[in-house]
Chain A
Amino acid sequence: MTPPAGPSLQTAPIVVQHPGSWANATTHYCPGCGHGLIHRLVANALDELGVRERTVGVAGVGCAILIYNYLDVDFQEVPHGRAPAAATGIKRARPDLVVFTYQGDGDLAAIGTAEIVHAAARSENITVIYVNNCVYGMTGGQMAPTTLPGQRSETSPEGRDPATQGHPIRVAEMLATLDGAVYLERVSVTHPENIKVAYRAVRKAFTYQLEGKGFSLVEFLSPCPTNWGMKPIDAMRWIDETVSAYYPLGVIKDREPVHLAHLVQQPPTAFREDYMHGFRYETVTQATEDELGRHTRRTHPFGRRGGRWVSVDGEEYRPSDHDDSEDED
């Protein structure tokens, strides 16, 4: 699937120079990781709004814990999952400061569920940058609350089975039910057009904070090529084709809920194989499995023993240019 046409990187207004909020350090992220890109958008927004000098960030625990090395703003680094509580403390003690948290999906949607729900319920006037990469990146690719049905991970080696491992959490939609949540948008960074939308969302979330509107959260669908076992380009493609089918992009709530219809359309509990936008899971025989080999089992994000993902017109899903041999070690 080719990304929709958009302005090229050269013409997009947000990538012309290093923002002042950027510390100009080399990041430790894997090639193709989404974190660096997302940091950059945050830095840009702080610059554009002119608030760098009164901003305090709160770093969640995850691959992006060292964000304070990359952004040139004050930071607090807090226990795993507790960033919204710490941000509450900062903002309440010093309402004049601009406060944001930067949290992964394990940090925010597993261990820190209580803190994010209650920060939203209290409508804390903070901005949450929530980076959903469907996996625990830092600890080596374990299942996250957001791991998709069928997705393989260290702790769902046969693919996440909702019958025993539960269903993914759509954080933005979940928070949308809370009166205190003011602005919730889901974005991705898969191509320039999406990056532009994502940047506008980040800027808007901070603008709302400056206007005192209350709690806002921007959920990023972000690639983790390392733990997805994909090349960076395949990871982006997987987000476009599959992840954003489960987690629809767009404004979920802007003071009024605006994007909850899809929840009504889908049966909430059953494991639906057509979650994977355009692909469905097909059980295959042992013989076919042997024939498909490791490809379905290990390198395919949804590969499960005895099955494969096929598109609606019967075509097998394979990351197009994935080199199998890389996965041997």
Chain B
Amino acid sequence: MKAVGTKAVEMMTEVTGEPRVPLGERVLMKGNEALAEAALKAGCRAYFGYPITPASEITSYMARWMQVEGGTFVQAESEVAAINMVFGAAGTGTRAMTASSSPGISLMSEGVSFLAAAEVPCLIVNVMRVGPGLGGIQPSQSDYFQATRGLGHGDFRVIVLVPANLQEMVDLTFEAFSLAEKYRTPVLMLADGVLGQMMEPVTFTRVIDPASMPEPEWATTGASGRPKRVVKSLYLDTGELEEHNVALQQKYRRIEQAEVRWNTYDLDGARILLVAYGTSARVAHHAMELAEERDMPVGLFRPITVYPYPYDALREVVEERGIEHILVVELSAGQMVEDVRLAVEGRCPVSFFGRSGGTIPAPLEVLDAIRNVAEGLPTARAASKKGGAS
């Protein structure tokens, strides 16, 4: 298997003239670069970004390769500018994206609200780092509330995809652009510092030629032989504005009907259900295996979309499998746990285990939490343990 880093990729392409990352071959890539490569292969032809750890490699990769692919790359003066450059480019019907990490995403919120309101499709990537404030550059999942609720002002949602490994991140990148265009909405890839920085084997199976995609019937491309088009979010007439908002909400209901994604693991005989997404799902999966080795009846439920959230699916698992206790594992002080509680509506107790300083919990720590649950004990990290409280 080839290891494909930026340098190696460059040599491969420039020296051998072979495609940068060949189709159908298992290659070892860094998460951020795999995501960028996937976006290029998915026909993204406009990238705008501002450097920030741990997302910077996406911007660097695009700087190196976007123009080679015939697209456009601009290092923006800020994330505020970046998201509005995305607005402009995507408004012409071009597949466009930006990537950043938590503080940068906060700066984008006004723009995201405008994109959602004007129904302009695009991909936004958040390689989450730990907050609040400057926080740190370590991985985190503490932007869950922001991603699923507060990505900007106004009544809107964006589709939020939460991959747990690099192959899934690659596949979801293709998916993200199709979903964005299908529903004319921004899509957020919610990754974290682990997924961005780790290396894993990935296989690319397809390439989308942007020239093969028809021009959307709303895009601003010059009013030639048709009435002018306006991409906008201002409605001065309150009746018209409410109609617009109702239409947006109907779209969100359609998304909630059709686009919920999740995965389950080892539900047979499970009494305790772990619920986790992204990197924490990897840890939880390992902890689940450790628990099973110790004959503990543990399963795992992993959302792949967190908006729309798999409320019904989770409730059904709890009901059909007779789950007695849920343990939510997150790299945060407890955010998704609120959605889990909404899903199970008191059918079983919901406990939480999380780390919020940028530390990835060891599977054994999660195993401890599972044991505590099994013994009917509280799961919160005791202040005495390693000196940190959750």
Verify that A and B bind, or say they do not: yes
Q: Is the CB of B92 within 8 A of A97?
A: yes
- Which residues of chain A are near B87, meaning CB under 8 Å? 76, 78, 82, 85-86, 89
A53 is an interface residue with CB less than 8 A from chain B:
yes
Residues 66-94 (chain A) with a chain B CB within 8 angstroms? 66, 68, 72-79, 82, 85-94
Give CA–CA (A125, B271) in the complex, Å.
Answer: 63
A75 in contact with B230 given A90-B89, A93-B92, A93-B94 (CB within 8 Å): yes
Judge whether B220 and A89 touch: CB under 8 Å. Answer: no
Q: Determine if A89 and B88 form an interchain contact, defined as CB atoms under 8 angstroms apart.
A: yes
Which of B110-118, B182-190, B237-245, B376-384 forms contacts with chain A? B110-118
Category for how many chain A residues contact B: 35 or more
Q: Is the CB of B111 within 8 A of A56?
A: no
Contact A76 B85 (CB under 8 A): no
**A194-234 interface code vs B (CB 8 A; 1 in, 0 out):** 00000000000000000000000000000000000000000
Most-contacted residue by chain B among A77, A89, A98 (CB, 10 A): A89
Inter-chain contact B76/A74, CB cutoff 8 Å: no
Contacts of A169 in B (CB 8 A): none
Flag B153-189 by CB within 8 Å of A: 1 or 0 each: 0000000000000000000000000000000000000
Given contacts A78-B84, A115-B84, contact A68 B232 (CB under 8 A): yes
CA distance A122 to B73 in the complex (A): 12
A77 surroundings in chain B (CB, below 8 A): 118, 230-234
Known interface pairs A86-B84, A92-B46; A74-B223 also in contact (CB < 8 Å): yes
Complex CA–CA separation, A98 to B80 (angstroms): 24
The chain B residue with its CB closest to the CB of A69 is: B230
A74 with B222: in contact, given A85-B85, A89-B91, A92-B85 (CB under 8 Å)? Answer: yes
Q: Are B228 and A74 in contact (CB under 8 A)?
A: yes
Closest to A56 in B: B220
CB B219 to nearest CB in A, in angstroms, measures 9
The bracket for how many chain B residues form the interface is 35 or more
Is A251 in the interface zone, CB < 8 Å from B?
no
Q: Does A54 contact B (CB under 8 A)?
A: yes
Q: Which of chain B's residues has its CB closest to A121's CB? A: B77
Instruction: Return chain A residues, CB-CB under 8 Å to B114.
Output: 78-79
- Please state if B81 and A85 are interface contacts (CB–CB under 8 Å): yes
User: Which of A78, A94, A114 is within 8 Å of B78, CB to CB?
Assistant: A114
Contact of B232 (CB < 8 Å), options: A23, A52, A56, A75: A75
Interface residues of B (CB under 8 A from A): 45-46, 48, 72, 74, 76-78, 80-82, 84-92, 94, 96, 110-111, 114, 118, 220-225, 228-234
19 of the cross-chain contacts (CB-CB < 8 Å) are A53-B223, A54-B224, A55-B222, A59-B232, A74-B229, A76-B91, A77-B118, A78-B87, A82-B84, A85-B81, A85-B87, A88-B81, A88-B88, A89-B86, A89-B87, A92-B74, A92-B89, A93-B46, A115-B77
Q: A73-B222, A89-B87 are in contact. List 9 more A-B contacts (CB 8 A).
A: A56-B91, A59-B232, A82-B111, A88-B85, A90-B88, A93-B72, A93-B96, A114-B77, A114-B78
